[in-house]
């Protein structure tokens, strides 16, 4: 483990005014996204769409890194340049999603555990040669009747730390993503309790497994009410609850936080990030690692038609720019 290299990469990932594009949709997820614009999910269409995003002029002003899917890290741009090199040439750090997805947790009916540790050490060695300098592993924690259980939180926390240890061993910065889902009818208070409990378990495991905290990034959910909750929280409540939770749990040495959007709309994700950065300074950089909340409008503008490339890139650039402003707490709705 080269601590200097890990720390340098982690700092660059949360550089002021910048955040991370999550373009690591699994085959199933990208198909669902393409279905919304009636485009067939072929390898060529997926490659063309991602090349469109990665070659957007000026995106590097606001995007520090891009999380890639296994297929994408092996693909080439139209001119034959490997896609990771397309990013590196712009000063954008290529990353890789390494988990194999959440499966039903044995011994629990409604909870999931993420798989993919088998063979991970060898995969990391290959991904490093392919250009990846950071990685990501997502665990999902579901809120519901009697869940999450301590068992589910414990299993996922342990696995996240195992992943992080193997990643750092390969000199690849781990993005540790424990996502408390926001799909249920729970209040923001319940989300805060579950998020705090989850993060405590995760940091306990990270410590046990000797993770170098300055050389990792946390990708958490914002503390927010479930989508089906009749009372939705205000941006002020979301910011206050999230920061309060973090101050209890997160270590000051942590390189930074990159929020997931978790089903929030493009505007909501930007507004809530902005609100948190308006209450700065915080011990850690509060940044973004959005998928849908950076891409939704761009995907629509593209519609699978090569002639729409520039229009889609303009939309993507604008969304990235607005989140860049939110990193400083300087976003306003009239920028939309």
- Which residues carry out catalysis? 177, 219
Tell me the residue length of the chain.
Answer: 336
Report which DSSP code applies to 42.
-
Is-cis flag, bond preceding 318, omega within 30?
no
Q: What is the DSSP letter of 118?
A: T
Spatial distance between the Cα atoms of 84 and 273, rounded to a whole number of angstroms: 28
Q: Are 120 and 82 in contact (CB under 8 A)?
A: no
Neighbours of 157 (CB within 10 A): 25
| Helices within the chain (DSSP H only) | 3-13, 27-35, 43-54, 70-73, 83-89, 120-129, 150-169, 188-208, 235-249, 266-278, 292-302, 309-326
Contact at 8 Å (CB) between 294 and 319? Answer: yes
- Six-digit token pair at 247? 């101050």
Q: Is 170 helix (H, G, I), strand (E, B) or coil?
A: coil
CB 320 within 8 A of CB 268: no
Decide the pairing of beta strands 173-180 and 19-23.
unpaired
- CA–CA distance, 47 with 75 (Å, rounded to integer): 7
Contact partners, residue 202, CB within 8 Å, separation at least 6: 156, 157, 160, 161, 176, 178
**Which whole-number Å values give the CA distances from 316 to 23, 45, 63, 168, 304, in the listed order?**
13, 18, 11, 31, 15
């Amino acid at each position: 483990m080269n601590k200097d290299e890990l720390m340098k990469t982690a700092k660059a990932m949360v550089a002021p005014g910048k955040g991370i594009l999550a373009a690591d949709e699994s085959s199933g997820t990208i198909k669902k996204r393409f279905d919304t614009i009636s485009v067939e999910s072929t390898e060529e269409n997926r490659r063309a769409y991602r090349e469109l995003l990665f070659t957007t002029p000026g995106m590097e002003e606001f995007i520090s890194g891009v999380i890639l899917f296994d297929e994408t890290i092996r693909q080439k741009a139209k001119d034959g340049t490997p896609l990771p090199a397309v990013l590196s040439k712009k000063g954008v750090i290529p990353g890789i999603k390494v988990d194999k997805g959440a499966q039903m947790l044995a011994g629990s009916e409604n909870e999931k555990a993420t798989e993919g540790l088998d063979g991970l050490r060898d995969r990391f060695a290959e991904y490093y040669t392919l250009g990846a300098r950071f990685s990501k592993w997502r665990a999902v924690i579901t809120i519901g009747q009697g869940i999450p259980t301590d068992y589910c939180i414990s299993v996922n926390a342990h696995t996240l730390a195992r992943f992080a240890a193997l990643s750092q061993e390969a000199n690849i910065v781990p993005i540790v993503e424990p996502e408390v889902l926001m799909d249920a009818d729970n209040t923001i208070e319940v989300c805060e309790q579950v998020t705090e409990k989850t993060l405590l378990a995760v940091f306990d495991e990270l410590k046990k497994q000797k993770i170098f905290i300055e050389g990792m990034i946390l990708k958490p959910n914002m503390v927010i009410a479930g989508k089906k909750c009749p009372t939705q929280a205000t941006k002020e409540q979301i910011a206050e609850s999230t920061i309060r939770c973090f101050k209890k749990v997160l270590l000051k040495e942590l390189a930074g936080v990159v929020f997931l959007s978790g089903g929030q709309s493009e505007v909501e994700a930007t507004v809530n990030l902005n609100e948190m950065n308006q209450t700065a300074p915080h011990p850690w950089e509060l940044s973004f690692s959005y998928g849908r909340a950076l891409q939704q409008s761009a995907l629509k503008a593209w519609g699978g038609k090569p002639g729409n490339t520039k229009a889609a890139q303009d939309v993507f650039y604008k969304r990235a720019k607005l989140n860049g402003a939110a990193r400083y707490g300087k976003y306003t709705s009239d920028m939309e």
